[in-house]
Structure formats: C-alpha cells, structure tokens
Amino acid sequence: MDSELFSASLYREVRFSFSRSAGAGGQNVNKVSTKVTASVAIDKLEGLTAEDLALIRTRLAGRISGGGLLSVSAQDSRSQIRNRELALQRLEALLRGARHTHAKRRATRPTSASRRARLEGKKRQARKKANRQNPPADD
C-alpha cells in the first residue's frame, strides 16, 4: 500500500453529507446540521493493492453498501467542521485497520521454570484438598 497516495486519494474521493445532530447544542440542534456522514467508494481509492481491497471488502462487508460505499458518521462536537475532521479520521482509521493483518503465533514449548511452577501449584492444591479430608478412623 502506498500510504501517501492512499491518503491523497481518500481526501479527494470522500463525500460529505450533513444532517441534524442528536447531540449537545441546545436550541442550535434544531437549526444547524452538524452531524456529518463521510462516504467513499472503495473502488475509486488509489494506493491500495488487490490484496488490500480484498481484505477491506471481506472485513468491512457489513458496513459497505450495495453500491460499494463505505460510510462513517460523527456527531460528537457542536461544530460541523470538527465533526468533518472526526468522520474523516474514523474513515481512514477504519480502512487502515481493515487491511492490517496480525502475525501468526508461533507454537513454543513451555520453559522448564514454567513447568516446575505448574507442577508445584498442582501439588500445593492437592495438599490443600488432602488436608480437608477427615482422618482415617482407628478400628
């Protein structure tokens, strides 16, 4: 992935829509459209490899509309400008996170110290339980 090309493409292709927010703002909420929804067509983004696009499509399948639009909204702030910034940041973080793959865990053997500690713990537990039993009856 070409990070600079991707960021430039995202900023160029993103489309904003505005609506009334349900958040703070007093009477202003009823007058000003401060909620921002940022949408981008993932097919138009540049700087992504075919593998990246495939990962994004599978991992964000529930968030991508039938037309291939990925949308994120923000209504945290009273300011439309701040909400635009937040929506854009969330969109970029979502796309970057979706293409990130974690390294596979390599199976390792337990160390001798951890084996000793595990067995010692088992012995301690066994002694504790053995001490709870009634002593054998003398016949």
Q: What are 49-77's pLDDT values in tens digits?
A: 888 888 888 888 888 888 888 889 888 88
Mean pLDDT of the chain: 86
DSSP state of 125: H
Residue type for 133, please? Answer: Q
Residue 46: name the closest of 8, 16, 14 by CA.
8
pTM over the 0.85 mark: no
Q: Computed from CA positions of residues 84, 77, 94, 64, in that sequence, does the dihedral angle turn out positive or negative?
A: negative
State residue 33's pLDDT score: 83
Residue type for 36, please? Answer: V
Task: Give the right CATH number for 3-98 from 3.60.20.10, 3.40.640.10, 3.30.160.20, 3.30.930.10.
Answer: 3.30.160.20
Q: Is the pLDDT score of 80 beyond 80?
A: yes
Instruction: Give residue-wise pLDDT tens across range 95-111.
Output: 888 888 888 999 999 99
Reported as a pLDDT band with limits 50, 70 and 90, residue 112 is: very high
Neighbouring-strand partners of residue 15: 39
